[in-house]
Amino acid sequence: MYSITRFEATPPESINSQIMQLVVDYVTDISMVAIAPSNPLYKLYQYGIGYEVHLYLDAMSGDKGVPVELMVAFDEQNPEQVIGFVLYLPVTDDPQACTIAYMGVLATHRRQGVARTMLAQITARYPHAELACFVSRVPTFEALGFQVLGARGPQVLMNTRDHGTEGALAVLDVASIYNSLEVRQIHTYLLGQHGKKAMLDAEKQRDRQLDQMTRHAKTFVEQRLGGHAIPYIGKGPRLI
């Protein structure tokens, strides 16, 4: 069994560190790139996605002007153990809307309704919720009340309603992470470890996979929506 707690302010470090470990362990599932552990770039994305989540957890202090909330699942037999989390962003001028940004559940606690319960509590508070997922996860989220709206790169855009919010979503500018000194240092280390050819092959493998997933998502959405995608209605994200 498990218990669920919602946080609107920065959680204690003991919780943050466990969430970060979940992100690092399941970066393939959490990242849009779906980078495989066998790809030499895997460690780079572990750092990048981990730092993204760290920035959003840090933003829960309120000093960055980005509304961030967090749902955390704990093991009832070990109440200090985090077994899952959902980090989501309330829409600033639509009190019913939010976007699911990051989500993860310990492999040992999957298929026990943990994610379902966290999402149910979120949608009870924000009935107009949106997320993006890989094609393989669409049936799971459909069972939770989400419906297909369109394709967003390699993922399928889903919403609890048949349209996106008209409100503005404030998000952090995380693109700069991948141009940071730390990422360059990690890349240099990996280059020395694997060699130039292996790293070039890794980038090509990643790009081929992204192209394939993007085509798959587009085809899936076209088939699901009868050859056309429902237009996305919304102001789009506002970078902070």
pLDDT at residue 237, rounded to an integer: 52
Calpha distance 238→240 (Å, rounded): 7
> Which residue range is the domain that position 28 belongs to?
2-239
Please say whether the beta carbons of 81 and 87 come within 8 A.
Answer: no
Q: pLDDT tens per residue, the chain (240 residues)?
A: 899 999 999 999 999 999 999 999 999 999 999 999 999 999 999 999 999 999 999 999 999 999 999 999 999 999 999 999 999 999 988 999 999 999 999 999 999 999 999 999 999 999 999 999 999 999 999 999 999 999 999 999 999 999 999 999 999 999 899 899 999 999 999 999 999 999 999 999 999 999 999 999 999 999 999 865 444 444 455 444
To the question of pTM greater than 0.85 for the whole model, the response is yes
> How many other CB atoms are found less than 10 A from the CB of residue 189?
12
Q: Are 71 and 49 in contact (CB under 8 A)?
A: no
Q: How far apart are CA 125 and CA 185, in angstroms?
A: 42
pLDDT at 227: 66
Number of separate domains in the chain? 1
- The CATH number assigned to the domain holding 101 equals 3.40.630.30
What's the pLDDT score for residue 226? 83
For 176, residues 6+ apart whose C-beta sits below 8 A from its C-beta are: none
